[in-house]
Amino acid sequence: MNEVQRHHGILSLLEEKQAINVSHIIDAFNVSPATARRDISKLDELGKLRKVRNGAERIETKKRKWTPLNINSTEHYEEKSLIALHAAELCQPGDSVVINCGSTAFLLGQQLCGEDVQIVTNYFPLASYLINEDHDDVIIIGGQYNKTQHIFLNPAPDALSGYAGHWMFTSGKGITEAGLYKADMLTAVSEQQMLEQIDQLVVVVDSSKVGQRTGMLFCPAEKIDILITGKAADPEVIQGLQAQGTRVILV
């Protein structure tokens, strides 16, 4: 893992915690104490965190959350757009496609809108967009609306047994040789119900997520058929996934 990827990882840790110490960085990234302190100092100089005694604190910022109206201001927009474009190219006319939540998922939905594919989703912003754009075949998975994640959740274990798809596209907070990680447990459990109903699982994450282990393990690497990510992704993690049979597409 290079310095840039490690810095992304440190900032991701601070998204979960208000503060971290040097030992957190040493354990998470297998670096020396000197390297951990140097990383903190550099990120402090860049204004990304606040350096404190033996650690760092998160800087609270009022960051505008992306919406379909400001999607082009989302982080890593250019890379996510390329990922969505390549993901859409996998789908063939007549395919049934399950798309889960997130900015990359929304961009993928935009690419597929108007094409001869059935789109299955529980993601309200995407469903609204597809309906407004008169996409011919949309299936909205029902349940209780979760305002925080903008998705419908159904806790019944067999709620999704009637659905099936050729493809399932999902993302997460991190991916390693162990598999895909998601930070929100409710979302992850909901999506896990679909894993046995689809033919191919495709993970779409920007390169900053590759090598990150954050949250719960959503699925092991051997269940991931295809990973689409950016060319800056950690090559060691990419090789580890390929060795387990995952096809990797770098954009």
Residue ranges with strand state E in 155-239 = 165-170, 174-176, 179-182, 198-204, 216-220, 226-229
- Per cent of the chain over pLDDT 90 is 63
Arithmetic mean of pLDDT, 200-216 = 94
Q: Cβ(149)–Cβ(186) under 8 Å? A: yes
Domain positions in the chain: 3-58, 68-250
pLDDT tens digits, 136-153: 999 998 778 877 777 887
pLDDT at 99 (0 to 100): 95
Neighbour-count burial of 194, counting CB atoms closer than 10 A to its CB (0-12 exposed, 13-18 middle, 19+ buried): buried
Assigned fold of 3-58: Arc Repressor Mutant, subunit A (1.10.10)
Pick the CATH number of 68-250 from 3.40.640.10, 3.40.50.1360, 3.40.1350.10, 3.40.50.720: 3.40.50.1360
pLDDT at 211 (0 to 100): 95
d(CA 47, CA 105) in angstroms, rounded, equals 30
pLDDT tens digits, 164-178: 789 999 999 999 999
Q: Cβ(87)–Cβ(202) under 8 Å? A: yes
